[in-house]
Structure 1
Amino acid sequence: MGGSAVVVGGGIGGLAAAIGLRRIGWEVTVVERARVLADAGAGISLHANGVRALDVLGVGEAVRAAARPQYTGGTRTPRGTRLARMDGAVLERELGTPIVGVRRTVLHRLLREALPAECLLIEVEVTSVDRSAPGRVRVPVRDGVLDADLVVAADGVHSRLRGQLLPGHPGPVYSGSTVLRAVTEHPVPLRTDFELTWGKGAEFGHIAFTDGRAEWHAVLNSPPGIRHADALAVMRRRFGDWHDPIPALLDATRPDAVLHHDIHELATPLPAYTEGRIALLGDAAHAMTPNLGQGACQALEDAAALAAALTTESTVESALARYDAERRPRSQSVARAARQAGRMGQQLSHPLAVALRNTGLWLAPSGMTVRAILRHADWVPPSLG
């Protein structure tokens, strides 16, 4: 089965969906409202399931070449006491790949390069779709209408198309946490490839890149909408006395490089990921908190599963029914687990609760961290034929 598709949203999930559709012979147009087709995020860790999805889409090798494997790391207290250790070598033996860290801009560029430039429309906004024509979906854009057999709504956590398709759903809610992050201006000596530090209602972490630079992120319990004139200065006051290399990461950062976003999630699961010939994908379908590092990985799984369903089913409708049946239970389960991980991790602020959590982690068997990662990363990708 072939056809034409419009993908609304040019982020990681949308580009991955377009790559998958083109690999199975579909004509694809990606529509992105931003002026520049690029990802403004800092860094990303991709677990084995995300890398396996990229392999199915044909870009796994390029991403591996640009990424740094995460063999060493774990979780610490602000004073530097180790609570848990991550063993990337064990993960590689179990899954065929360790977790890898890559700049989001690099991942986005590699996905863009897998698509012909002519199928990308930028600075074009889509606010609705027309489903009145039998067997077709019409997408109004600035200069006319795009007519398609399938529309993939990959327009993010605040998806307008989701709001049109499921008007009774409450939509995204604020998670209670906000995140500040940046990539260092120059290399920083690091003892680990990846690390998290948990304090009271706060988390600081880093991802090391191949060029020696690193992404750092700080997640804080906070009311929504708080912004700072000098966010880096605020970070230095909040984390300046935490263990090395946290002060060095902040010192290696330009003030204008700090990004600040409130974290929203779909706390109320969607009743369906599809409606007619429209499929919701990525954050538009299952926006989750970042506590398991699975948001982008789940979007990549979506893309591979959607393409696979369209290769095996005889109609778009039956393919989307299969996509919904496969993706909704798994991604919503991961989203619930991510929310729980945040509540038991970064969001804990009461001193007694923090002490109990830390003691439990310190006493836990050494393989617990690996087993926790395997629970979500051990996903078998579909074949695209």
Structure 2
Amino acid sequence: MGKRAAVIGGGIGGLAAAIGLRVAGWEVTVLERSAALPETGTGLGIWPGAMRALDALGVGEEVRRRGRRQAGGSIRRPDGTRIAVIDVGRLERRHGEPVHLVTRPVLLAALAGALPRPTVRFAAPVTDPGALTGAYDLVVGADGINSVVRAALHGDRYPLRYAGTVAWRGVADVDVRVGGETWGPGRKFGVTPEVPGRTNWYAAVALPEGHPPPVDDRAELLRLFGDWHQPIPRLLEALAPDGILRHEVRDLTPLPSYVSGRVALLGDAAHAMTPDLGQGACQALIDAVALADCLRDTDDVPAALRAYDRQRRRPTQRMAAAARWAGRLAQARRLLPARDAVLRLALAAGPPA
């Protein structure tokens, strides 16, 4: 059997899979529906396990150079009093690596730069993944939360689920030295410094599914969070209305398998999770390296994909369940002292690496 692979989706997981497969001896074509890599985007936290994956792909040092180490922070109440401390030093002592903050465009550019230019075909949407299986020996679905590859494998039997919150996010030209989150009744607000004078922010509010969107997102955020402690009001005042992204948060009903024959899913296509643990991009990177490792030095693609499924499905589904639980905790409107105690215990146990 030959070694020709089609990767559907040129996001973080798809580009990482392409690099890993090429190193493993595969000829790879990435089919990406967008016309080009994005030039703007919010920040990502790259945890130690994902940094090891980037090292295996040969781009870890570039990401370290172009990103920055995450500083410690706190989780606070709306009046600014502290609930818990985020001990990033403990994570580094345990795993020998801090969390690195990098913007999505920078990470995508680093991954794309490790591939020969003809590898990625932009403006190439795929509507029928089955048509590719005759031309390629492997098809990888890295096409995100609304994956057409997943739909081809599983139909509508494992749908997306509303996670109970509406989220807003963006970047503000405000200098915030220390990141962290603030938790109030049924809502939270987080900030992550990107570079001096520029800060990533996000907000989540517990709302029923289909809740009518506000006429003015900035005004709604000021109504919900404008009387919270600084720098939140200052950051909201600085927002440009056209720079605010809003969406209902959803995750994926757990799949019984990430593979079928010579087709594999990875990243959000396989295990879309809520953003509460900041692990979506990280798990996609780890998936990509695991997939390439399983396909190295073998001609039995279905057996290699079954090994990949055994290696990655349970850990990623546990991570997704933990993220959903963390999101539920943030939705609490009553018994807030008990919620805060649970949050402190969870942080003391240590974050996922």
Q: Please classify the TM superposition score into its range, dividing by the shorter chain length.
A: over 0.9
Alignment partner, residue 328 of structure 1? 313
Q: In structure 2, what is the Cα distance between the partners aligned to 1:59 and 1:153?
A: 22
Q: Which secondary structure does the structure 2 equivalent of 1:339 belong to?
A: helix
Query: What TM-score results when the alignment is normalised by the length of structure 1?
Result: 0.86
Q: In structure 2, what is the Cα distance between the partners aligned to 1:343 and 1:37?
A: 34
Which of 163, 166, 174 is the equivalent residue of 2:151? 163
Q: Which secondary structure does the structure 2 equivalent of 1:233 belong to?
A: helix
Q: Which secondary structure does the structure 2 equivalent of 1:118 belong to?
A: helix
User: Structure 1 residue 332: deviation in Å?
Assistant: 0.6
Alpha-carbon distance change, 161 to 359 in structure 1, aligned in 2, over 3 angstroms: closer
Letter in 1 for 2:267: G
Alignment partner, residue 381 of structure 1? none
Q: Which secondary structure does the structure 1 equivalent of 2:36 belong to?
A: coil
- Give a deviation string over 1:78-122, Cα, whole Å, max 9, x none: 111111111222211211111121211221222222222211111
Alpha-carbon distance change, 331 to 359 in structure 1, aligned in 2, over 3 angstroms: closer
Alpha-carbon distance change, 40 to 162 in structure 1, aligned in 2, over 3 angstroms: farther
Query: What TM-score results when the alignment is normalised by the length of structure 2?
Result: 0.94
Alignment partner, residue 281 of structure 2? 296
Is the contact between residue 19 and residue 114 of structure 2 (CA under 8 Å) also seen in structure 1?
A: yes
Is the contact between residue 207 and residue 216 of structure 1 (CA under 8 Å) also seen in structure 2?
A: yes
Is the contact between residue 16 and residue 57 of structure 1 (CA under 8 Å) also seen in structure 2?
A: yes
Letter in 2 for 1:341: A
Is the contact between residue 171 and residue 201 of structure 2 (CA under 8 Å) also seen in structure 1?
A: yes
Alignment partner, residue 383 of structure 1? none
Q: In structure 2, what is the Cα distance between the partners aligned to 1:370 and 1:152?
A: 38
Is the contact between residue 312 and residue 319 of structure 1 (CA under 8 Å) also seen in structure 2?
A: no
Q: Which secondary structure does the structure 2 equivalent of 1:148 belong to?
A: coil
User: Structure 1 residue 228: deviation in Å?
Assistant: 3.2
Are 1:119 and 2:119 an aligned pair? yes
Q: Which secondary structure does the structure 2 equivalent of 1:220 belong to?
A: strand
Alignment partner, residue 86 of structure 1? 86
Alignment partner, residue 369 of structure 1? 347
Which of 217, 234, 237 is the equivalent residue of 2:223? 237
Which consecutive unaligned segments of at least 5 residues does structure 2 have?
A: none
1:215-364 paired onto structure 2 within 5 Å: 215-225=200-210, 226-266=212-252, 268-344=253-329, 346-349=330-333, 351-352=334-335, 354-361=336-343, 364=345
1:25-44 paired onto structure 2 within 5 Å: 25-38=25-38, 41-44=41-44
Q: Which secondary structure does the structure 2 equivalent of 1:214 belong to?
A: strand
- Give a deviation string over 1:29-85, Cα, whole Å, max 9, x none: 111112333276412111111111111111111111111211311211111111111
Indicate the RMSD between aligned Cα atoms, in angstroms: 1.9
Alignment partner, residue 141 of structure 1? none
Give the number of equivalent residue pairs. Answer: 352
Are 1:188 and 2:170 an aligned pair? no
Q: Which secondary structure does the structure 1 equivalent of 2:295 belong to?
A: helix
Alpha-carbon distance change, 309 to 232 in structure 1, aligned in 2, over 3 angstroms: same
Alpha-carbon distance change, 5 to 211 in structure 1, aligned in 2, over 3 angstroms: farther
Is the contact between residue 2 and residue 25 of structure 1 (CA under 8 Å) also seen in structure 2?
A: no
Q: In structure 2, what is the Cα distance between the partners aligned to 1:306 and 1:120?
A: 19
Are 1:154 and 2:142 an aligned pair? yes
Q: In structure 1, what is the Cα distance between the partners aligned to 2:11 and 2:214?
A: 27
